Structure 1
Amino acid sequence: MADTVSSGLDRVLARVRRLPGAQHWRRCVVPACALGVCALLLLVLQHLSQTVDYRSVVVQLCHLSAPEWAGALGATAVSYVALVGRDAVGLRYVGATVPRIPLWVGATVGSALGNVTGFGALTGGAVRCRVYGVAGVTPVQVGQMTVFTSVTLALALALMTAAGMLASAGTLSGMIGLAPGTLRMIGAAVLAGFAVLIVACRATPTRVQLTQRFSLTFTVPARRDLIAQLALAVADVVAASVALWTLLPHGGAHVGFGQFLTVYAAAMLLGLIGHTPGGVGVFEAAMVCVLGASVPTPQMLAALLAYRAIYFGVPLVLSAGVLAAFEGRAQQAARASALAQRGAKSVSQLAPLFLAICTFVVGSMLVISGATPAFSKRIAILQTVLPLWVMESSQMLASLFGVLLLFVARGLLRRLDAAWWLALMIAALNLGLSLAKGLAFVETGVLCVLIVLLIATRERFNRHSSLFAERFTPGWLASVGMVIALAVWIFLFAFRDVEYSHHLWWQFAFDERAPRALRATLGASLFAAALACWQLLRPAAGRFEKPAEGDLIEAAGVVRAQERSDAVLAMMGDKSFLFSESRNAFLMYAKRGRTWAALHDPVGPRSEWPALIQRFVALAHAHGGRAAFYQVRADALPLYLDAGLTLMKLGEEAHIALPAFELKGSHRAHLRYALKRGERDGFSIEVIEAARVPDALPVLREISDAWLASRVAREKSFSVAAFTASYLAAQSVMLLRQHGEPLAFVTFMTTDLNTEATVGVMRHLPGASPYAMEYLFTQLALHLKSAGFGSLSLGVAPLSGMRPTPLASPWHRGAALAWRFGGWFYNFRGLRGFKDKFQPRWEPRYLAASGSMSVFLTLADLSRLAGGARS
């Protein structure tokens, strides 16, 4: 019977998983539940704070003494020492050992991040995998250790709550809603269960298999490990509770420590079950609800806020210092030991995760700060030095920048360089805004810490991609929504005594703090909603996908059947294909950011070009992108104009008319000299046909690698020929030897029609004669002429032929200036001068792209495409 029910349940679950959109709905359920829990918590806090005003809480915070702050800091330090001990016991449980420094770093930094985010098993586990992995601890062992410590923490909280049920049943009765006698019975039963559990454990770990069907097994810890872990967890909780206890009025004289500890453990257990970040909301509601009769609510809320700042904020800041120190150590790793090198590198690689969390927290701080009133005394000081419009705009801009940081944090998590630059600029701008809106010194200090962290970890953000190229996950948008909801609630709480009126929106004065906060909160909410809606409603950006093997074969057939030899670049395999309906023609394209870039004109029968061009433009626009056709020829420009694209000249392509190419005459003297000099230097050439290229690849690769290393460069792509085995196999090679030793080579692309050839990959060894490439190209032209080819393309000279005219466009004028004075950045004239030696015919090449000003963004994306970037 049980097997029948189980198999039926499996079939039902399988059908649910196959339902359309089931995966999408699963991704949305957790964020929706989180938003629901957030709304419920805010309603509870609204009910609990009915008799409290914002100013009384702030006053209580300001009245906390230095000894109280110091006591809370000391208790926090003891708690984190216990956390280190818990990790040590957990590592012993999984049979692993870690040196002292990685143990302290992994335990403290992992716990700090896990406490702030509320996903300790994920963020804290990621930290421990990095740090403990240096000592050979596997991710599986870290996962087992995390489960062990998490379960034992819950058991310790249950143990402390059970003990409290016996000692303080009356206090817990109001919190749980059960009679004191019932609570005592439950507590006694739980304690008896713990005794049985400890007795049942053996002296050594024991593996237990739960079910035969699913082979679910777990390891029962040794008795000493369980007792040690429970004792350390109790010490951790007691120390954390002392951190809050010392912040209560008069050392918590209104409530005994035993009762307080019981309530604290139960509230922490509820927060653990609620799984909010650090139990926020659930923990506070439980503490206020139970202790509200013993401790005045304003004092309780002030103590809770200070506790959050000390127990959660201070470790996060100290962890930031640890991360910055390891980042600096990683940059000096050459002088450290092998273990220290691995440790520094491993910890510093946590920078994206850490900076993303810190940036999100700072963004939340800015949004919430904009919803709260500034101190009157500080406003009075600013009133004497700043005009009103500066203060008004500062609070609004700071809130908007805070919202932007909430979204930028995801880009930092993905290691995007654009996100790093934007986060740095926003943090730097907010330094002035935080002071101008109300002399927010704490806020300024936090921003300074973020700036230092960003600068220290710059090398970790090296991905060149658009910040908003990928959609934000529902979970991230839900997190942003919770921050905005909290800011709105805090605004309503802070200005509860201000009667709402439509006139508030238009009141501008130094002492009008409510209207200023109202406008800033509304602006932040609308800005966040606009960004979220844009993310949800914008079309899918699309992804670059390498062509399938079958598409490459079909494209090769089309390329061989036509005369344009530069179409062989399709065989590099780094571009996607868009085929015509007949599949007799295609476009090769790649994607970078919002730019969908097709290389050259379509390949195949010209009659199919117009439809292909229109389809490609529609495809790019359907994904919210910009269509671009790179290096198109002049005779096809009407097709691109008909498609509504903007034209821009890029440069000129050099074509040698091979039937007329000869070495006679004064204008060929330099070529004749290159040949004679080459013969004197022992040059000789060898033509390697496509069939023999695979055998010559090792020799060619050695030359190519040496050439790349001498220029500290990497392979290009898209419009620039690259050294790949599959691409070289589709063309022939001319190899240059000096005294029999390979010195340089050039590949040349041809089609079956043998009417046109195009130069492909060109490489030479460092230190080669300056006449080597000139000799090689001259011999190539002579060889192709004798083979009956009509033309040899030497490639495009960028910005060539860009001459300023009275009616020239701004781009044309700028390109002409770059051609004239840009030699420091790129040798434009030198490249043109080398090709001019062969007296070529110069043909213009153009860019056809969507938009007008966005064309410049397209050019930037095309540059990245040539450098190998894809998105």
Structure 2
Amino acid sequence: MAVSITMFAALILSVFAFGSIAETIDYQAFVHVLKHLPPAAIGWSILATMVSFAALIGRDVTAVRYVGAQLPRLAPIVAGFCGTALGNAAGFGTLTGAAVRYRIYGAVGVQSQDIARLLLFIAAGYALGLTGFGGLAALLEAKSVAHLLGWPTALLSILSGAALVCVAALVLFGLRKPIHLGGFCLPAPPKELAAIQLGLSGIRLVSAAAALWVLLPGGSSNFFSFAAIFSAATALGAVSNLPGGIGVFEAVVFWAFGRAGAADQIAAALLAYRGIYYAMPLIVSAALLAVFEVRFAIGSQQSAAADERLVLAAARLAPRFIGVIAFATGIMLLVSGATPTFGHRLAILSMRLPLWVVETSHFLGSLLGIVFLFVARGLFERRDGAWWIAITIATASLCLSLTKGLAYGEAGFLAIVLTLLITTRRQFDRPASMLGQAFTLGWFATVGLIVIGATAIFLVAFRTADYTTHDLWWEFEFDAQAPRALRALLGAAVLATAIGFWQLLRPPKGLAPRPDADALGHAARIINEQDRSQAMMAMMGDKSLLFSDSGNAFIMYGKRGRSWIALFDPVGPVEDWHELITRFVTLAASHGGRAAFYQVRPETLRHYLDAGLSVMKLGEEACVQVASFELRGRAAAHLRYALKRGERDGLTFELLAPHQMAPVVDDLADISAAWLRSRRTEEKGFSIAAFEPGYLGSQMIALVRQHEVPVAFSTIMTTQSRKEASIGLMRHTPGASSYAMEFLFTQLIDHLKRMHYQTLSLGVAPLSGVLPAPLSSRWHWLGAVIWRYGTPFYNFRGLRAFKDKFNPVWEPRYLAASGTLGPFVTLADAAGLIGLNFKGSRRYWRGA
């Protein structure tokens, strides 16, 4: 949410900043400058861009060395180049680039923790490089930069020198000890690697600045003065979270150099820079991924296994790049419809085509621009329906670009889009209709701002038109370009509004039916054929079940409001997961809902990233390594004391098989009822086990008696593989010994060890490990605050401390959800599902 607010605030400020700038731009002069940019300047800009991206790739190579990973040589090239290209174009540069790198590096065997360290190393190097490069440039040209900024020269020199000293001190003296961020440790990099990373960041920034500087009109400034302003503009653009800092970056450049050159010349240089440094790498990246897709489709067996995994992972990234390009195509068509056509091209058309063809082509081209903006979302989500629509409208737009004004450049770009769509066809494998897709409020707001931006461009391009006369709307002539553009803009605005109203009239939200006895029996068979014991939560019967086409896997899920929330990863063979996840996301979207997966494991995140979902950390799960569990040594002293104290208090332990529960079921019910009364609560559901005799009857029961009276118990979820066990329900009476639960778990672990189990899950500690870090989202900062100050509302720290007594390995658990704000809304809806009173049906359990 904070990111979205930052984006919109930055965008609104940019609009106001450009309000005064637009008045000084002469559109015809702007077009003339753009058409007559020196070829040498364009060539130097392209060369500088190539050097900059080579440095970016070098940063990834250095980061791979830092984490000590052995990878195919192509991996850092693809991750560094494609990740940066997508981050520049799509916004959220760090997060988007991180998602690409996670997918690439994860596919070739790099562990999640090492990927996180790699990303932090790159981000820290970039931040230091930006600070050092900007400080050095400002210090070298303090007088010129101070004049541009309107600051005192002495103040700028002091600030620049301080920045350089801080960077130098940090590199030379501050990288000696590991950096601890909560439970995460970032080892101190060797000085030579830190220096290389800093140098590569500097080369990247120098080259990026040079790519724009060579395009600016001569005499605007010397390079070092410009580089200082460029660094400030880049930093502000990154903070704004807008794609490539668009608007913010331009506003800063105009503010600093507007008096040194004509506004139309600066605008032309900025537009050319955007095309060279942002659009070209994005298209090259998409083309590279398309080549990987073709290679994968051909089925080359000449590469090693790691190379094959890299090719597959790269190919699976293609829809993200195609979606960004489709969105950019929509913007291009809207702007094209709002600006005049070259007069000599219209003259050629007037001799070959009737007027109604030109008018219709211009109008339909803008409408298709709006369609592209919405189709882009479907392409992100790999929808095959979106792919078919994109192919159709790209073909139509290519033809219309020629018939509306012989727009050869526009047609060439659309030809590239068509080629990319055709070559990546297999990656759009979700059998989902575009018409069943839901759009977020943020998406509509973005489309609305783009329409407003196109309108602003129209007003600049046709500044001399008389908008007070009603006849303007009804002028139909070859040279009546203002009326034509005005009608096209109005049509685009009406279509965008109509789609918005159509979204308000979505079909019914859909139901999440309870499973019947047959479905539960089917699920029970699948559960017992795999190792994940927590899958037994499906047998509570309070969650709906979605089975794969093969019938060998299923998803358990609940629904609240518009949130469709799957609990855990899919249950069953991994080869069925892709189809199941795709179907679930499609099912939620077809009813105007948002899909989410609750408490998924780190090694499975790639499946959800491929499905276009956002990921956030929920907490950490305590997993006791039963096979290596020992009661000897200082670390287990408190557990030995709990056993001795429990024996003095008259505690005894027994582990009951499911068929042994009947004689004690009434005692268990009494313990459960007493526990609920003492907590002044009722049975929960969804991810929390509830007391239901049928459910309990399918599990082992760990029972503790005090002086022969049952006082505490826990249910143990297992499968037939007998590898993993999980705690389900745990209850005790208010009068039980204060050591009853420690006694129970210690005895249980010892018994499971003798039964040759490998692990015991004690459950998730919410918000454990959700701590702020340089690449953290706002959720991590909020989670850290709740963890620190939320004890009066929930005993977060106490729960973690209790489970820590058994020396577990803490494994992260995540939420994967769709939409920008979807994860936050989903968390609230998940809490609502958990808080619902459990209303099971005993016939389900008997049937299972």
TM-score by length of 1: 0.58
CA deviation string 1:111-165 (max 9, x = no partner): 1111111222333222222322343223443333223222322222221222233
Question: Distance in 1 between the 2:486 and 2:66 partners?
Answer: 54
2:532 aligns with none
**255-264 vs 122-131, greater mean Cα deviation:** 122-131
Give the whole-Å Cα distance in 2 for the aligned partners of 1:575 and 1:123.
Answer: 31
Indicate which of 324, 327, 331 corresponds to 1:364. 331
SS at match of 1:41: helix
Give the aligned partner of residue 181 of structure 1. 154
**Residues 460-502 of structure 1: CA deviation (Å, up to 9, x unaligned):** 1122222242421233223322322221121112112223223
- Secondary structure of 1:328 counterpart: helix
Q: Percent identity?
A: 40
1:217 deviates by 4.6
The code of the aligned residue for 1:243 comes to A
Q: Within the alignment, does 1:35 sit opposite 2:8 as a pair?
A: yes
Contact 2:286 2:318 in 1 (8 A): no
How far residue 36 of structure 1 moved from its aligned partner, in angstroms, is 3.5
CA 170–383 in structure 1, closer or farther in 2 if over 3 Å, else same: same
Aligned equivalent of 2:179: 208
Residue 515 (structure 1) aligned to one of 483, 502, 513 = 483
Task: Say if 2:142 and 2:153, in contact at 8 Å, map to a contact too.
Answer: yes
* Corresponding residue number in structure 2 for 1:474: 441
Alignment correspondent of 1:112: 85
CA contact 1:206–1:221 (8 Å) conserved in 2? no
Counterparts in 2 of 1:322-471, with a 5 A limit? 322-337=288-303, 338-471=305-438
Other-structure match for 2:471: 503
Residue number among 496, 502, 527 corresponding to 1:534 in the alignment:
502
Distance in 2 between the 1:399 and 1:496 partners? 20
How far did residue 402 of structure 1 move? 1.0
Task: Give the C-alpha shift of residue 508 in structure 1.
Answer: 1.2
Contact residue 263 and residue 290 of structure 1 kept, 8 A: yes
Q: Determine the C-alpha separation between the residues in 2 that align with 1:178 and 1:150.
A: 30
One-letter amino acid of the counterpart of residue 111, structure 1: T
Q: Are 1:349 and 1:460, in contact at CA under 8 Å, matched by a contact in 2?
A: yes
Letter of the 2:141 counterpart: S
Change (3 A) 1:575 1:268: closer
Whichever residue aligns with residue 302 of structure 1, its letter is: A
> Runs of 5+ in structure 2 lacking a partner?
522-543, 548-558, 560-589, 594-848
Q: Confirm whether residue 270 of structure 1 aligns to residue 236 of structure 2.
A: yes
How many residues of Structure 1 are paired with residues of Structure 2 in the alignment? 532
**2:271 is the counterpart of 1:300:** no
Say if 2:215 is the partner of 1:242. no
Aligned equivalents of 2:466 and 2:405: distance in 1?
23
Matching residue's letter, 2:123: S
Post-superposition, which runs of at least 4 consecutive aligned residues in structure 1 deviate over 4 A? Answer: 174-177, 214-217, 549-554, 573-576, 622-625
Structure 1: give runs of 5+ residues left out of the alignment.
1-25, 555-572, 577-590, 592-621, 626-871
Map 1:190-229 → 2, pairs under 5 A: 190-202=163-175, 206-209=177-180, 214-215=182-183, 217-229=185-197
For 2:520 and 2:120, how far apart are their aligned partners in 1? Answer: 51
Q: Residue 101 of structure 2 is aligned with which of 104, 107, 128?
A: 128
Give the whole-Å Cα distance in 2 for the aligned partners of 1:166 and 1:30. 33
Q: Aligned AA for 1:344?
A: V
Deviation at 1:548, TM superposition (A): 3.3
**TM-score in terms of structure 2 length:** 0.59
Deviation at 1:64?
A: 0.9
SS at match of 2:178: strand
Report the AA paired with residue 151 of structure 1: A
Please, which moves more after superposition, 144-153 or 449-458?
144-153
Distance 1:329 1:297, change over 3 A: same
List per-residue Cα deviations over 1:533-578 (Å, max 9, x = no partner).
332x224642463533579799xxxxxxxxxxxxxxxxxx9799xx
- Answer yes or no: is the 8 Å Cα contact 2:398–2:414 preserved in 1: yes
What CA distance in whole angstroms lies between the structure 1 residues aligned with 2:261 and 2:111?
A: 48
Matches within 5 A, 1:816-835: none
Alpha-carbon distance in structure 1 between the residues aligned to 2:349 and 2:37: 26
After TM superposition, the structure 1 stretch with the greater mean CA deviation from structure 2, 173-182 or 94-103, is 173-182
Mark the CA change 1:505 to 1:143 in structure 2 (over 3 Å): closer, same or farther: farther
Q: What amino acid is aligned across from residue 412 of structure 1 in structure 2?
A: L
**Contact conserved, 1:538 with 1:624, CA < 8 A, in 2?**
no
Deviation at 1:295, TM superposition (A): 2.3
Return the alpha-carbon distance in structure 2 between the equivalents of residues 246 and 97 of structure 1.
39
Equivalent residue, structure 2, for 1:823 = none
| Greater length-normalized contact order (CA 8 Å, ≥ 6 residues apart) | 2
AA matched with 1:367: L
Structure 1 residues 33 and 239: CA distance shift in structure 2, 3 A = closer
- Are the structure 2 counterparts of residues 403 and 266 from structure 1 closer, same or farther at C-alpha, using a change threshold of 3 Å? same
Decide whether aligned partners of structure 1 residues 428 and 145 sit closer, same or farther in structure 2, where only a CA change above 3 A counts. Answer: same
Decide whether aligned partners of structure 1 residues 244 and 319 sit closer, same or farther in structure 2, where only a CA change above 3 A counts: same
Distance 1:135 1:387, change over 3 A: same
Contact 1:163/1:191 (<8 A) preserved: yes
SS at match of 1:335: coil
Q: Structure 1 residues 208 and 324 mapped into 2: Cα distance closer, same or farther (>3 Å)? A: closer
Aligned partners of 1:417 and 1:462 also within 8 Å: yes
Q: Helix, strand or coil for the counterpart of 2:23?
A: coil
Q: Which amino acid aligns with 2:180?
A: Q
Paired residues of 1:41 and 1:282 also in contact (CA < 8 A): yes
State the Cα RMSD in Å.
2.9
1:243, distance to aligned residue in structure 2 (A): 1.1
After superposition, the C-alpha distances for 1:594-650 in whole angstroms (9 at most, x for unaligned) are xxxxxxxxxxxxxxxxxxxxxxxxxxxx9799xxxxxxxxxxxxxxxxxxxxxxxxx
Name the residue aligned to 1:789.
Answer: none
Displacement of 1:254 after TM fit?
3.7
Pick one of 36, 55, 68 that aligns with 1:63. 36
The residue identity in structure 2 corresponding to 1:404 is: V
| Bigger Cα displacement from structure 2, 67-76 vs 166-175 | 166-175
Question: Contact 1:32–1:478 at 8 Å: present in 2 too?
Answer: no
What is the rounded CA distance, in whole Å, between the counterparts of 1:294 and 1:624 in structure 2?
52
- Deviation of the 1:323 alpha carbon: 1.4
Determine if contact 2:323/2:380 at 8 Å carries over to the other structure.
Answer: yes
Instruction: Please tell me whether Structure 1 or Structure 2 has the larger radius of gyration of its CA atoms.
Output: 1
Deviation at 1:215, TM superposition (A): 4.2
Q: Which moved more, 1:351-360 or 1:462-471?
A: 462-471
Equivalent in 268, 272, 277 of residue 311 of structure 1: 277
Q: Quick one: distance in 2 between partners of 1:406 and 1:186?
A: 43
Q: 1:257 aligns with which of 205, 223, 246?
A: 223
The one-letter amino acid paired with 2:210 is: V
Could you tell me which residue of structure 1 aligns to residue 793 of structure 2?
A: none
